[in-house]
Amino acid sequence: MSKYQQLIQEQRYQIYSYSKIGYSQSKIALEIAVHKSTISRELNKNSGLRGYSAKQAQVLSDKKRADASSIKS
């Protein structure tokens, strides 16, 4: 079993680009080497009226990471 790793900014922009050109979630997962459920969760969690926003997704991820590290301290 592989260790869980969060998506990095580059992967989020790849998800955005691939989804814009019409790749399926399974195809995107193969291209960026993550599980297809990861793509599904990412798109569902970070899509709004205008679709998926890689920039917004990264900002939210950074904020969660900062909040989590401040709790540990």
Whether 52 maps to a domain, the answer reads yes
Asked whether residue 16 is assigned to any structural domain, the reply reads yes
Provide the number of structural domains found in the chain: 1
CA pair distance 34, 17, nearest whole angstrom = 16
- Asked if residue 4 is part of any domain, the answer here is no
Q: How far apart are CA 73 and CA 14, in angstroms?
A: 33
**pTM score:** 0.83
Q: Which residues span the domain enclosing 24? A: 9-72
What is the 3-state composition of the chain as percent helix, strand, coil, each rounded to the nearest 5?
Answer: 65, 5, 25
Tens digit of each residue's pLDDT (9 = 90 or more) over 4-47? 678 999 999 999 999 999 999 999 999 999 999 999 999 999 99
pLDDT of res. 72: 64
- Within 8 A by CB and 6+ apart from 34, the residues are 7, 11
Start-to-end CA span in the chain (Å)? 30
Assigned domain for 2 exists:
no
- Within-domain flag for 56: yes
